[in-house]
Amino acid sequence: MGVVEYRIDRRSGVATYLQIVQQTKQALRLGLLEPGDQLPTAREVVEATAINPNTVLKAYRELEREGLVEARRGLGTFVRRSLGSAPAESPLRAELVDWAGRARAAGLDRDDVAALFTAVLDENFKGDKE
Amino acid sequence: MTDTAIQAAGLGRRYGRRKRDVLADCSFRLPKGRICALVGPNGAGKSTLLAIAAGLLKPTAGTVEVLGGPPTAARSRIAYVAQHKPLHPQLTVAATLRLGAELNPGRWEQSAAERIAYGTGGLEPKAKIRSLSGGQRTRVALALAFGKRPELLLLDEPMADLDPLARHELTGALMAEAVEHGTTIVMSSHVVAELEGSCDYLLLLQGGRMRLAGDTEELLAAHALLTGTGTDFAPHTVIERRASGRGHTALVRVADTTEESAAGTTGPARHREQPTLEELVLGHLRSHQAPAGDIDHTDHNDHTHQQETAA
Amino acid sequence: MSTFAVKGLPWTVLRLHRTALLVWGAGLLAATITLIRMYAIGDDARAFAGPCGSPGTSLASCLEITELTVDDTYRDTLSQVATVLSYLMFPVAAWAGGALIGREMENGTAQLNWTQSVSPARWLTAKLALPALLLATGTTTAVLLNVWAHQDGDPNLVGDWYYPDVFVSTGPVAVAYVLAGLSLGALAGLLTRRALAGAGVGFAVTLALYNLLERYREDLWPAQTVIGRAALNQPRSALQIDRGAITAEGQEENGVFACVDSDSLADLEKCKAATGLTDFWATQHPRSHFWPLQFVESGIVLALSAVAVLTAFLVLRRRTP
């Protein structure tokens, strides 16, 4: 099994530690990582990405806080549970599909919908970011 | 044991005949285990500050403590790579590493030095220093510094001569060193973007004076980029303001958060963004170039242009 | 180089100046071989330098002498050795000011050492002590071999003891000069912080020192005064300094060469009557003054070296924390 590699995009505007968190979650969703698998060590990550070690540690702490991974002293950081792939068939999704259809019927184009959606997201998840 | 790597108080350096302060009244404290960017325009005093910390230069004012004592007492625990990477031209790479081993008995780790010197895209042990390119010399200088297993690594413009690949590799090696041994690293550069991802501490020098010093996250959290229709950004302290369309964008030092939320509800509509480290640094540098803290740039393009140049 | 049982800072000094070390070693080897050869042909040279006769007589054969120039070889080679030994301080000073110290100050490698767990003072100590040791032992060896090769010191072959080259190359002064070259050069390198300037200043200062001491050498020890016939017939082995005469009026006149080489007492009386001089005097350094002169001059030169070394350390301490 190869080691998960993080791609850090400094220009994305997304905090570096968040990129690691998101890419780890993505790997969990895609099944690239499963419970018991080891995350790359902080040394491996910083050697490959040249980012600050504290950033990696912060990302791992965040993943640990969410209960996705656990640090075993002297051994490394291991995956505790996987993330089920996005609830594709959930009722929420159906509602969103329904809403998108109505937005389109109301004459909104793709960008309008995206802007509206982002604005609502920002409003509702204000406290969660950072 | 102290948890401070470098502590400076009122540090100054003046060169005799010209009577010019290269460094004046610098006070800061760098905790151990941090990776610190020492940033500032050319001639800001970065090299002078590093040379003083390395125990090579006497300050003419103030005091500095390195690893809990005077810099000269920490000589064996500090590694310093000067800006022009001085090396003995007549030696081979291998002999240069041998020199490091002979001069640092009890500390030297040959494998650490060899990893840097001969690793990926590395050098021939038998190559003479005088035949190396600038980037290859940097590699040897860094290998000497790594082999010493320092507690504090002082690097003056370490990446200037390196191609992007080597820059990435060696920065990664530096970070790995920091993870493994808790090494404190101070890197100077006049290019902020070069250090943005790797550093968690910032020292900003300009004209020999310390403009900003602190944890990068704390510094970023204490600042905001506000865009609004008015010119009034109270209660925040405006560091730099420039025209943006019909309104203004300002880099501000955020006032107390409770005040802010109070003002946010009553004040004019503003868009708030977190500045990048580069925006923060450039904003501070520009504001100090002008006599007043509050300056108005009408040409918005100038802003982006300068950022691109710096990047 | 690992065959050296040398470690740490001394190793780096030897390794960094390996070329100089090799040149010094080769020079010493050449000097040793040359001087042993000179000793070996010394007897022949003496035989052939003397009078000659036809084959079969006890004298050396004149025929051979015209063919063999063993005495010329001996004379010329020893003269060259004397020159090299007495001028050694100049290249040493240029090297110390340039390669040893100046270049390291110029390209920042001195600072590189100072951040490799070596304090500036320790660095300078090693930079001075090791070359001093090697230069002193090497020069001493060469001087001893030179004296040995001179054998009886026949002035027709090796020159008079007071010739500047011969004087310097046959005594401790040679060692003192080389050490002065090292310390003055090192100080020059430290002050100029440039390789070329350090070498130039080191060379110039030692050149000035050499000429100054050569000029005033005879004043470094009280000269012997002789009067009467002895003043007019000074031996070759004495370094003549000044002479004069006393007139009938009882006045002393300096630099009078009248009556010199009056062979007999009668000649002298005749000359006295003709010139109206009543007595003669001369000052000189007899051969016995060789050692006092050597010691005083060595003392002065070594004291100067010590001052230069001390200044170098003070300069370094003032410049670095």
User: Would you say C88 and C177 are in contact if contact means Cβ atoms under 8 Å apart?
Assistant: yes
- B103–C109: do the CB atoms touch at under 8 Å? no
Chains with ≥3 CB–CB distances under 8 Å to A: B
- Do A61 and A101 share a domain, yes or no? no
Confidence of residue A85 (pLDDT cuts 50, 70, 90): low
Q: Do B56 and C8 count as a contact with CB atoms less than 8 A apart?
A: no
Residue with tokens 């009668």: C266
Residue A11 lies in a domain: no
Residue A10, domain member (yes or no): no
Within 8 A of B95 by CB-CB distance, chain C residues are: 15
Residue A118 lies in a domain: yes
Segments forming the whole domain that contains residue A96: 91-124
Min CA distance, A27 vs chain B (Å)? 23
Cβ-count burial of C254 within 10 angstroms (0-12 exposed, 13-18 middle, 19+ buried)? exposed
Closest CA to B226 of B161, B271, B168: B271
Q: Are residues A26 and A66 in the same domain?
A: yes
According to DSSP, residue A97 is labeled H
Same domain, A23 and A72: yes
Residue A85 lies in a domain: no
CA pair distance A122, B228, nearest whole angstrom: 19
Residue B239 has pLDDT above 90, yes or no: no
Q: Is B87 on the interface with C (CB under 8 A)?
A: yes
State the alpha helices, DSSP H only, in C151-194.
Answer: 155-158, 164-169, 173-192
Percent of chain B with pLDDT over 90: 41
Confidence of residue A3 (pLDDT cuts 50, 70, 90): low
Select from B177, B264, B206, B280 the least CA-distant residue to B23. B206
Q: Average the pLDDT over A67-94 and give the result.
A: 78
Residues in contact with C98: Cβ distance below 8 Å, sequence separation at least 6, in sequence order: C185, C189, C195, C196, C198, C199, C202
Do A24 and A57 reside in the same domain of the chain?
yes
Q: How far is CA C215 from CA C212, C220, C297, in A?
A: 5, 10, 12
pLDDT at residue number B266: 47
In a domain, residue A103? The reply is yes
Are B208 and B22 contacting, i.e. CB atoms less than 8 angstroms apart? yes
Q: Which 3 state secondary structure label does DSSP give C239?
A: strand
Residues A66 and A113 grouped into a single domain: no
* Band of pLDDT at residue A91, cut at 50, 70 and 90: confident
Same domain, A20 and A73: yes
Question: Are A and C neighbours with ≥3 CB pairs closer than 8 A?
Answer: no
Cα B170 to chain centroid, rounded: 16
Q: Encoding tokens for residue A95?
A: 């509602």
The CA-atom distances, in angstroms, between C31 and each of B285, C35, C86 are: 67, 6, 13
Give me the phi and psi of B177, to 5 degrees please.
-60, -45
Confidence class for position B291, pLDDT limits 50, 70, 90? very low
CA distance B24 to B61: 8
Report pLDDT digits (tens) over A20-55. Answer: 999 998 888 887 888 888 899 888 899 888 888 888
Q: What was the pLDDT predicted at B295?
A: 35
Mutation choice for A interface testing from B175, B257, B308 by most A CBs within 10 A: B175
Do A74 and A21 share a structural domain? yes
pLDDT of residue C172: 96
The per-residue pLDDT for range B27-75, each reduced to its tens digit, is 999 999 999 999 998 888 999 999 999 999 999 999 999 999 999 999 9
Residue A50: list chain B partners with CB under 8 A: 168-169, 171-172, 174-175, 197-198
pLDDT (0 to 100) of residue B220: 87
Whether residue A113 is contained in a domain is answered as yes
CA distance B60 to B12: 6
Alpha-carbon gap, residue A80 to A69, rounded angstroms: 5
Helices B110-118, B134-147: inter-axial angle, 10-degree rounding: 160
Is the CB of C8 less than 8 angstroms away from the CB of B105?
yes
Residues 6+ apart with CB under 8 A from C278: C245, C246, C247, C248, C250, C272
More confident site: B255 or C145? C145
pLDDT per position as a tens digit, B91-146: 999 999 999 999 998 889 999 899 888 887 678 999 999 999 888 999 999 999 99
| Residue from C1, C15, C23, C117 whose CB has the most chain B CBs within 10 Å, to mutate | C117
Q: How many domains does chain A have?
A: 2
The residue in chain B having the minimum alpha-carbon distance to the alpha carbon of residue C108 is B86
Helix or strand or coil: residue C279? strand
| The pLDDT of residue B17 | 66
Question: From CA C134, how far away is CA C288, in angstroms rounded?
Answer: 31
- Answer yes or no: do A28 and A68 share one domain: yes
Overall average pLDDT of the B244-273 stretch: 67
Whole-Å CA distances, B289 to B219, B240, B295, C95: 20, 11, 10, 49
Domains and CATH numbers, chain B: 4-215 (3.40.50.300), 222-310 (no CATH)
- Strand C252-254 and strand C239-247: the pairing is antiparallel
How far is the C-alpha of C243 from the C-alpha of C43, rounded, in Å? 37
Of C7, C108, C117, the CB nearest to B86: C108
Q: What is the DSSP letter of C101?
A: I
DSSP string across chain B: --SEEEEEEEEEEEETTTTEEEEEEEEEEEETT-EEEEE-STTSSHHHHHHHHTTSS--SEEEEEETTB-GGGGGGGEEEE-TT----TTSBHHHHHHHHHHHSTTT--HHHHHHHHHSTT---TT-BGGG--HHHHHHHHHHHHHHT--SEEEESSTTTT--HHHHHHHHHHHHHHHHHH--EEEEEES-SHHHHTT-SEEEEEETTEEEEEEEHHHHHHTEEEEEESSS--TTSEEEEEEEETTEEEEEEE---HHHHHHHHHHS--EEEEPPPHHHHHHHHHHHHHSSSS--EE--HHHHHHHHHHH-
How far is residue C199 from each of residues B112, B114, B238, measured CA to CA in Å?
38, 36, 58
SS3 C213: helix
Here the CATH number for the domain that contains residue A44 is 1.10.10.10
Rg of chain C on CA atoms, in Å: 25
The domain segmentation of chain C, as residue ranges, is 8-36+71-217+296-319, 239-285
- Tell me: do A20 and A69 sit in the same domain: yes
Q: Please tell me whether residues A58 and A104 are part of one structural domain.
A: no
- Which among B58, B86, B107 is the nearest to C109, CB-wise? B86
Question: Is A9 within the bounds of a domain?
Answer: no
DSSP state of C97: I
Alpha carbon of residue B82 to chain centroid: 14
Does A2 reside within a domain?
no
When mean pLDDT is compared over B10-19, B237-246, C238-247, the highest value belongs to C238-247
Low-confidence ranges of chain C (pLDDT < 70): 1-4, 55-61, 63-68
Does the distance separating the beta carbons of B88 and C109 come in below 8 Å?
yes
Of C187, C23, C18, whose CA–CA distance to B99 is shortest? C18
Indicate if A23 and A75 belong to the same structural domain.
Answer: yes
Q: A21 and A70 share a domain? A: yes
Q: What share of chain B in percent tops pLDDT 70?
A: 87
pLDDT in tens, B204-213: 999 888 989 9
Share of chain A above pLDDT 90, in %: 9
Q: Say whether pLDDT at B294 is over 50.
A: no
CA–CA dist A61, A65 (Å, integer): 6
Burial track B19-43 (b if 16+ CB lie within 10 A, e otherwise): eebbbbebebebebbbbbbbbbeee
CB atoms closer than 10 angstroms to residue A80:
14
Contacts of C22 in chain B (CB under 8 A): none
